[in-house]
């Protein structure tokens, strides 16, 4: 008799044969600009730790002090076990940083989108979403009660198509929600949020932006709202502490009534244990470091501009990137994996991004810049990319 889970083995073997399986190496120690992998010091080019804050002394100290003062756990979910004072302090800090009335902290960025979006639109409403939005947004839309015909996708950053969708959906629905990433995580380009909010207002629609990769990066670290000067024009802004802030967790910022609604309605908030004190204190400290030490953002952009210019000069295609997310396009998954192995052998950690995260023919090495990288790190990486790119048949 066949085992009931045998199908999983077959599907996994199919992924392996197509080069779509994930095989990340083990990091021995902190994820920083230089990390230990297989006992070898390696240049880190695939971490979202943009500002190198995960090892910042002030952030680490905050975690240690929170354990001493508040313990290692939070007691359960916040609505039942109560809010710790440090949870409230973090949310006040987020709201100040975002120039918004209020904010709410979630356990992860994924939990924000998958838990809040389903509560923002129901069966008589509509959702309009960018074609390249993150998987957590896609899952949130699927979990909503919005009818299939009223869940529409517009071409990536295509404002003409967005307006066509708004014109159609707002006629048939009680409420309409427009959702976009701020910085798109696979290509590193930026949503035209100023145009999106203008169109949404024109048609009476709500706006929701996921700024996970914009926080700590754009506009001196303030994010995409500040980048376009429209911080208060976006109804819901979600984000993550696992990227530039160097910790973990999610956030949503906006009006006070929106945040109160989100706290009471989001199942990922209501039914998940709240973040431990050390994590919450680290998140607050990371924001404070970003506000008081602008050199981290400046260094991040200096590294980004240098690396992108040099790798393009070698003949690599970096797509439409405008940010520290620099995709080195390879096309076939096997080419991306071969290049990644060549890089790791040279002490450069840059993982391939393959299907299903990107289209089957859009495999790439997604290079993530960091403020912690020295010029010698970047030059070593560039040298390895040139050698590996030729060996893998990419250039």
Provide the pLDDT for residue 18: 80
246 neighbors 49 (Cβ within 8 angstroms): yes
Catalytic residue among 35, 74, 129, 185: 185
Q: The domain at 57-292 falls in which architecture?
A: 3-Layer(aba) Sandwich (3.40)
Beta-carbon contacts of 15 under 8 Å, excluding residues fewer than 6 positions away, are 21
Tokens of residue 309, six digits = 């210019």
Q: HEC states along the chain?
A: CCCCCHHHHHHHHHHHHHCCCCCCCCECCCCCCEEEECCEEEEECCCCCCCCHHHCHHHHHHHHHHHHHHCCCCCCCHHHHCCCHHHHHHHHHHHHHHCCCEEEEECCHHHHHHHHHHHCCCCCCEEEEECCCCHHHHHHHHHCCCCHHHEEEECCCCHHHHHHHHHHHHHHCCCEEEEEECECCCCCCECCHHHHHHHHHHCCCEEEEECCCCCCCCHHHCCHHHHHCCHHHCCEEEEECCCCCCCCCEEEEECHHHHHHHHHHCHHHHCCCCCCHHHHHHHHHHHHHHHHCCHHHHHHHHHHHHHHHHHHHCCCCCCCCCCCEEEEEEECHHHHHHHHHHHHHCCEECCEECCCCCCCCCEEEEEECCCCCCHHHHHHHHHHHHHHHHHCCCC
Provide the pLDDT for residue 356: 79
Say if domain 6-55+294-391 classifies as CATH 3.30.230.10. Answer: no
Is 10 among the residues known to form the active site?
no
Provide the pLDDT for residue 1: 56
Provide the pLDDT for residue 354: 86
Domain ranges (residues) in the chain = 6-55+294-391, 57-292
Provide the pLDDT for residue 88: 96
Give the whole-angstrom CA distance, residue 386 versus residue 199: 44
Provide the pLDDT for residue 20: 75
6-55+294-391 and 57-292: identical CATH topology: no
Tokens of residue 288, six digits = 């404070």
Catalytic residue among 213, 335, 337, 362: 213
Is 213 among the residues known to form the active site?
yes
Q: Express each pLDDT in 346-356 by its tens digit.
A: 999 998 998 87
Catalytic residue among 87, 98, 227, 243: 243
Is 335 among the residues known to form the active site?
no
pLDDT in tens, the chain (395 residues): 578 999 999 999 998 888 777 778 889 999 999 999 988 999 999 999 999 999 999 999 999 999 999 999 998 898 888 889 999 999 999 999 999 999 999 999 999 999 999 999 999 999 999 999 999 999 999 999 999 999 999 999 999 999 999 999 999 999 999 999 999 999 999 999 999 999 999 999 999 999 999 999 999 999 999 999 999 999 999 999 999 999 999 999 999 999 999 999 999 998 999 999 999 999 999 999 999 999 999 999 999 999 999 999 999 999 999 999 999 999 999 999 999 999 999 999 998 998 878 888 999 999 999 999 999 999 999 999 999 999 999 99
């Amino acid at each position: 008799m066949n085992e009931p889970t045998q199908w999983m083995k077959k599907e996994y073997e199919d992924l392996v044969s197509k080069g779509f399986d994930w095989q990340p190496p083990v990091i021995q120690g902190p994820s920083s600009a230089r990390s230990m992998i297989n006992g070898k010091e390696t240049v880190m080019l695939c971490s979202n730790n943009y500002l190198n804050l995960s090892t910042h002394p002030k952030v680490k100290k905050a975690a240690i002090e929170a354990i001493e003062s508040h313990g290692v756990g939070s007691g359960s979910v916040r609505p039942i076990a109560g809010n710790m004072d440090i949870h409230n302090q973090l949310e006040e800090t987020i709201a100040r940083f975002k120039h918004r009335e209020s904010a709410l902290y979630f356990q992860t960025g994924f939990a924000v989108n998958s838990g809040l979006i389903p509560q923002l639109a129901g069966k008589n409403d509509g959702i309009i979403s960018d074609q390249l939005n993150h998987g957590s947004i896609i899952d949130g839309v699927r979990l909503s009660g919005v009818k299939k015909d009223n869940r529409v996708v517009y071409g990536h950053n295509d404002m003409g198509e967005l307006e066509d969708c708004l014109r159609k959906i707002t006629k048939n629905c009680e409420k309409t929600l427009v959702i976009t990433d701020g910085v798109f995580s696979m290509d590193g380009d930026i949503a035209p949020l100023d145009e999106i909010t203008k169109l949404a207002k024109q048609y009476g629609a709500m706006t929701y932006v996921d700024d996970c990769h914009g926080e700590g990066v754009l506009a001196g670290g303030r994010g995409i709202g500040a980048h376009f000067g429209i911080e208060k024009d976006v109804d819901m802004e979600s984000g993550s502490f696992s990227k530039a802030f160097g910790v973990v967790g999610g956030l949503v910022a906006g009006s006070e009534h929106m945040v109160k609604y989100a706290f009471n309605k989001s199942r990922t908030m209501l039914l998940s244990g709240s973040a431990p004190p050390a994590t919450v204190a680290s998140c607050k400290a990371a924001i404070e470091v970003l506000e008081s030490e602008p050199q981290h953002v400046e260094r991040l952009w200096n590294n980004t501009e240098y690396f992108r210019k040099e790798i393009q000069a070698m003949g690599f295609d970096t797509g439409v990137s405008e940010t520290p997310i620099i995709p080195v396009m390879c096309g076939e998954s096997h080419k991306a994996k071969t290049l990644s192995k060549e890089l790791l052998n040279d002490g450069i950690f840059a993982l391939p991004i393959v299907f299903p995260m990107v289209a089957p023919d859009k495999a790439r090495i997604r290079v993530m810049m960091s403020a912690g990288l020295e010029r010698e790190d970047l030059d070593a990486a560039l040298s390895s990319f040139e050698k590996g790119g030729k060996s893998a048949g990419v250039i």
